[in-house]
Structures are given as structure tokens and as C-alpha cells.
Structure 1
Amino acid sequence: MPGKVKFFKLSKRFVDEKDAPAEVEQLKYYALAIGHHIGIVDCLSPVMTMEEKDYLEWISKFPPGKVRRKLEGLTKWGEIEINREHVALLVSTLSQAFPSFLPEEKEWANCLLKLLHSIQKEPAIYVVVRLSEENSDYCRQ
């Protein structure tokens, strides 16, 4: 059965209070500040969805290299993360491939570019891309 590719953006983060005793209050805030994920719950908001076959066709238009391999990793792992270390190369690759995109692919590229700019402004933000069977289509920022 063909799947859906879903992009999610970190929307907020909080500490699961039952996992953090009162005597480690300062440690809890320190962990939030530095972004460690021990005892921290990340809330991801859905941003964009597309058919798996459309995703694969879209990324096939990216020039060969690190970005394309990264995005193709979704089919192997079922999930990939895009964080601040990927931003510059992704922006460059999207700009390079943009003229070859179909109109709908340009919308996806613009949505992804908005996400990448969010990461540039706030490095703690990241994007998770997942392969799933659920049916829903949207792109919102």
C-alpha cells in the first residue's frame, strides 16, 4: 500500500514532571535550555503531507549529493530529521533544483524553505519527516 510522507515541525517542548523530581528543578531548566531529550517531550505539529510516490519523484529532481541521499533515507529508515546543520545545504540544493519542479513541487519547496528559515531563526527547532499510511493533505506554517 502506498504511503504518505509527512513533515512535522517542533512546536514546543516540555519536561514530563513525573520524570523530574523537585530537587532537580534547575537541572530541568538547564536540560530545556540546551535541548537534551532526556525527560523532555517534544510536541511536533504537522506541516506538510504528500504521497510517497510524489515525494520520491520530487527528490529525484534534486542534484545527486548529500541532500538527496539524506532525503532518500526516508525510504530506508521510515523517518529522517532535518536540523540546523542541514539548513544551508538544503537551501542551496532547493534553489538549484527549483526551476525543474512542477507547480505543486514548487509549493512543497516553498513550504520546506519556510521551515528551514524557522530553523535558522531558532536553532532549537527541527523538522521530522515520516513515512506513514495515514491519509491527510495540508501545508501550513
Structure 2
Amino acid sequence: MSDVLAELTQSRHFQGHVYFYTLGRKFVDESYDVPEEAKQIMYYSLAIGHHLGVVDCLKAVIECEGDEYLNWISGLPQDGEAFNKMKGYFVFGEITIYPEHLNMLALAFDRIDSSTQNARSQQLTRDFITALGDIHREPTMYMMIRGIR
């Protein structure tokens, strides 16, 4: 095990359960009385891509244990952009994957030699690339990877 991977096992997030959430739907929280002028600003900001007053509803599409996650990402080149992005989970406890990350991540995980992965890592790769494809087809979606201890 490399020094980088050994260091990641010391993260407080290593022992937890990891969830891959994707945006399922959005809605505007109108449970409070908002003046009409403010509503117009809120709807305009939504139309131009801002999230003022918008609630994101996320659903778990993949889940694994912290050690499975580390074993899975260890198939990536440790000096690569994809590994650096994905190891952020151990540093911050969560990472967000936006449409601009899709190509880089899909290519990196697709390049992993499946003969070097165990069955669980192979399944995580398939599920992850499928979820990235869903985001590609619906660019307002994103993925959040978070841990629960």
C-alpha cells in the first residue's frame, strides 16, 4: 500500500458508510410568505441557473463502506486528477461531482484494468459510470458523495 493510501486509511471518514447521491428533483420552497417582487427575483435566478430559494432533493444511487471506496479508487493513478478528486471524500467528508467532471472521471475509471479489481470494485465502477451517464444526459443534475458514520 502506498503512503498516500495508508494516510487515507487514517481519515475519520474511512470507517463510515459512503453514499453517492444524485439530484432527483428540485422545488422552490414556498412555505413562507414571500412578496411578489421577491418571487420574481427568485424565479428569475432559478431560470438563469442560480439556486436562490430552491431545495435540491437527492437520492442515494450507490453505497459502499469506506474501505471499499478506498480499494476502488486505488485503481486510479495516484498522481491523476481523478484520484485527487475522489480522495477528497477522505479529506472533506464529501465531494460534489458536476457536469464538468464527467469526462475526466468516466475516462479514468473506464481505463482501470478490471483484472486488477475485485468484484465489488468492478460493480462500483459500472454503477458509477452509469450514474455519470445519467448526469451527462441531464446536465442540471450533479452527484454528491457523502459519508455517514
Please confirm whether the aligned pair reaches a TM-score higher than 0.5, indicating the same fold. yes
Alignment of 1:63-74 (within 5 A): 63-64=77-78, 65-74=80-89
Which residue in the other structure is 2:43 paired with? 29
Instruction: Verify: 1:92 aligned to 2:131, yes or no.
Output: no
Alignment of 1:50-89 (within 5 A): 50-64=64-78, 65-89=80-104
Alignment of 1:1-141 (within 5 A): 2-17=15-30, 18=32, 20-64=34-78, 65-99=80-114, 100-133=116-149
Structure 2 Cα separation of the partners of residues 89 and 122 of structure 1: 17
Assess if the C-alpha contact under 8 Å between 1:5 and 1:49 holds in 2: yes
Structure 2 Cα separation of the partners of residues 24 and 126 of structure 1: 27
Assess if the C-alpha contact under 8 Å between 2:71 and 2:121 holds in 1: no
Considering only aligned residues, what root-mean-square deviation do their CA atoms show, in Å? 1.7
**Partner AA of 1:66 in structure 2:** E
Three-state SS of the structure 2 residue aligned to 1:97 is: coil
Identical aligned residues as a percent: 37
Query: 1:63: Cα distance to partner?
Result: 1.5
Structure 1 Cα separation of the partners of residues 28 and 35 of structure 2: 11
Q: Please list every run of 5 or more consecutive structure 1 residues that lacks an aligned counterpart in the other structure.
A: 134-141
- Higher-Rg structure is 2
Q: How many residues align?
A: 133
Relative to structure 1, is the Cα distance of residues 126 and 20 closer, same or farther in structure 2, using a 3 angstrom cutoff? farther
Q: TM-score, normalised by structure 2?
A: 0.81
Q: TM-score, normalised by structure 1?
A: 0.86
Structure 2 Cα separation of the partners of residues 68 and 57 of structure 1: 12
Query: 1:120: Cα distance to partner?
Result: 1.0
